[in-house]
Amino acid sequence: RTLFSIFAFQFEEDFIETKEDLEKLRNDGSLLFQQVPMVEMDGMKMVQTRAILSYIAAKHNLYGKDLKERAWIDMYVEGTTDLMGMIMYLPFQTAEVKEKNLALIIERAKNRYFPVYEKALKDHGHDYLVGNKLSWADIHLLEAILMAEECQADILSAFPLLQAFKGRISNIPTIKKFLQPGSQRKPPMDEKSVARVRAIFNF
């Protein structure tokens, strides 16, 4: 469902539909650590989400102008990654655990993560998190916001700068196109999707 990949380049998706699909990739050596995702580009078969996205960011000039900016981008991305990781595991949890963790996600988003990004935008007065230029951190934050809003629609109610940020980044032409109905962006997982993933990955 990643915004980042769509923004940076055009690509084709191949989905793992069965255990056999996964085993084929594992057996032909495509998966360095026997795990997906895997992206083929520039003559490489890249695995590990952070490594893939770091490469794309650097390739498309979305990774800051120097080491200091890159460090800030990395910190902001790690924060949104933590939040999104909590959200992504929700569909695979029992109803009781899901209810408890949903409340935790909303609490963490409002009190730990979103205040950091609201303050960053306020402190330097720019439209973007790092410097005054779009970076990987901005795209990752937008995706985290969209995922958090699926948990609670008004989760940004106390964060006016993040509300404005969401509007700006969502209106970048390539991102705007990606967010429209019928695009490659995947909807939240339903019960059928969860069952298929469990069957393929044995969990």
pLDDT of residue 115: 98
Range of the domain at 135: 62-172
**Strand partners of residue 40:** 45
How many domains would you assign to the chain? 2
pLDDT of residue 166: 97
> Using an 8 Å Cβ cutoff, are 54 and 69 in contact?
no
Q: Is the Cα dihedral 118, 162, 81, 32 positive or negative?
A: negative
> Using an 8 Å Cβ cutoff, are 38 and 25 in contact?
yes
Kindly state whether residues 162 and 129 are assigned to the same domain: yes
Kindly state whether residues 71 and 126 are assigned to the same domain: yes
pLDDT of residue 9: 55
Run means of pLDDT, 10 residues per run, the chain, 203 residues: 49 79 87 86 89 90 94 96 92 90 96 97 92 93 95 97 96 86 73 81 74
> Using an 8 Å Cβ cutoff, are 201 and 16 in contact?
no
For residue 148, report the phi and psi dihedrals to the nearest 5 degrees.
-65, -35
Chain Cα centroid distance, residue 132: 22
Kindly state whether residues 86 and 131 are assigned to the same domain: yes
- Enter the tokens of residue 29: 């050596």
Kindly state whether residues 33 and 102 are assigned to the same domain: no
pLDDT of residue 81: 94
Kindly state the helix (H) or strand (E) to which residue 25 belongs, with its residue range: helix 19-27
Kindly state whether residues 52 and 140 are assigned to the same domain: no
pLDDT of residue 8: 46
pLDDT of residue 193: 80
Say which CATH number the domain at 22 has: 3.40.30.10
**Residue position matching structure tokens 């990606």:** 178
pLDDT of residue 174: 84
